[in-house]
Structure 1
Amino acid sequence: MNMLRSLSIAAAACCLFVALPARAQDVPPPGIVVRGEAQKSVAPDTAVIEAGVSNFAKSARAAAEATNLAIGKVLLELKNAGIDGKDIQTSQLSLQPQYADRPGPSEVTGYVAKNIVSVRVRDITALAGILDRLMVAGANEVRGISFTVSNASKLLDEARTEAVADARRKAEIYARAAGLTLGAPVSIAEDSGPGVMPMRKMAADLSAGAQVAPGEQSLNVSVTVNWGVKAQ
């Protein structure tokens, strides 16, 4: 019985030693690990305006009615400016009491009603004119403008190709310096998410005759590539 048990342990040990080299083959061979980067600078072609109406009144009903009337004129003006209904979305609708700013028990002095909409403008050249029309129509809150690139996915794909090419260029330099031949990539990983960065600050004067400078945006991609190598 003891002899059989000893034989079983010995057989298991042999299996273990045989399996170890196979597991070692799963480990990727050492290579050259480099980071490749690419950048696409492009003028934005879409703008998003956050604007709307805010009114104060002694009663909640009066504040709401004044705001509803005013936002109706704003929405009509946006329609007349050629903005599609799908590009207009309510982003804030609120009715808040206002309190007296003095010591003692809180006293409601009135109410502020707000109706803010998000407007997507697909023609950058029309942006300044639309801002003017908004303010003439009664919009007394323009919270800001943001710019986007509608075909960002296509440009990012081009940048990804260029980032891998940049990684290959760097790896070939290291391989030549070390007397090696560059092989195929063992692994490729995109570093975090591709970035979108404004290249120049937006300038906007929101008075009559608004001037807007959309500037440029930079689409950045960074990849880490592990290249296989072999001796020359």
Structure 2
Amino acid sequence: MQMLRNLLIVAALSAPVFAHAGEIAVQGRGVIEKAPDMAVLSLGARFQAFTAQEAMSEVNRRTQAAIRIMEKLGIEPRDMQTGNLYLNPVWERGDNRIDVARIKGYEAGNQLTVRVRDLTILGDALDEMVRDGVNAFNGLRFALQDPSEAMNEARRKAVQDAVAKAQLYAEAAGVELGAIKSFHEGGGGVPQPRFMARAEMAMDTGVPIAAGELSTQATVSIVFEIAED
């Protein structure tokens, strides 16, 4: 029986979990795939003009136009945020290094971050904003409005995976699985895109969008006692 226990410990140590004599240490992993129910857009406007006032006024006009489009499509104010507002001179340099650089105009810019909770309007929203002056697109990512449900499901699967492994090792070694001695949760995975061959989110009008699925994962490390005979 002691030899079986030693062999079992060696098998358990193949995972990055440490075990002592009379223990079975395992790791479990759970993965949940879910379609996203929210998109986060990062876009904005930038414009160059001869004067700072003209450049900033045009950027403000385009930003306000984008906000009005969002409001018309039902986006709530809490889901819109402006940021990264800037106004910089545009320099003109001469042909020679000794020439003094001169300001030939100004560039202004502003960024709008929008959470779109109804994915059916996403394509039309992008299309309308581009037509109305948005000319800086900084990214689109999909997310879950409430990732806790997917994370909890992944945790359950991770524990089930670990218990199943421990039971398998115990059965193969001819010993009885005892109580849990220690339990540790590894780093939970933030939902990540998992691109699938599906295009249900493609719109008949506007910009075509394929949402794919998000992968949420959890890992656990559990040490079980080996029951005494």
Compute the TM-score of the two structures, normalised by the length of structure 2.
0.81
Q: Once the two structures are superposed, what CA deviation does each residue of 1:174-222 show, in whole Å capped at 9, x if it has no partner? A: 11122211112111111123342211189999xx931111111110111
What is the aligned length?
A: 204
Matching residue of 1:14: none
Select the residue among 72, 79, 84 that pairs with 2:76: 84
Counterpart of 2:222? Answer: 225
Query: What is the one-letter code of the residue matched to 1:155?
Result: A
Instruction: Structure 1 unaligned segments of length 5 or more: list them.
Output: 1-27
Which residue matches 1:182?
177
Does structure 1 residue 69 correspond to structure 2 residue 61?
Answer: yes
What is the CA deviation profile of residues 139-164 of structure 1, one whole-angstrom value per residue up to 9, with x for unaligned ones? 11122111101121011112111111
Tell me if structure 2 keeps the 8 A contact 1:54–1:112.
yes
**8 Å contact 2:187–2:218 — kept in the other structure?**
no
Q: Is the 8 A contact 1:184 1:228 kept in 2?
A: yes
Q: Aligned pair 1:193/2:185, yes or no?
A: no
Rounded to whole Å, the distance in 2 between the matches of 1:83 and 1:173 is 51
Match of 2:86 among 83, 89, 94: 94
Q: Is the 8 A contact 1:181 1:230 kept in 2?
A: yes
Could you list the runs of 4 or more consecutive aligned residues of structure 1 that deviate by over 4 angstroms after TM superposition?
Answer: 201-205
1:42 matched residue in structure 2: 34
2:160 and 2:216 mapped to 1: Cα distance?
17
Letter of the 1:223 counterpart: V
Measured against aligned partners, the alpha-carbon deviations of 1:38-62 in whole angstroms (never above 9, x if no partner) come to 1100010000111111110112111
User: Structure 1 vs Structure 2: percent identity of aligned residues?
Assistant: 33
Pairwise CA distance, 1:101: 5.1
Distance (Å, rounded) in 2 between the aligned partners of 1:110 and 1:184: 74
| Separation of aligned partners in 2, 1:185 and 1:154 | 25
- Bigger-Rg structure (1/2): 1
Aligned match for 2:118, one of 115, 118, 123: 123
Q: Give the one of 202, 207, 210 matched to 1:210.
A: 207
For 2:167, give the aligned amino acid: E
AA at the equivalent of 2:62: A
Aligned CA RMSD, in angstroms, stands at: 2.4
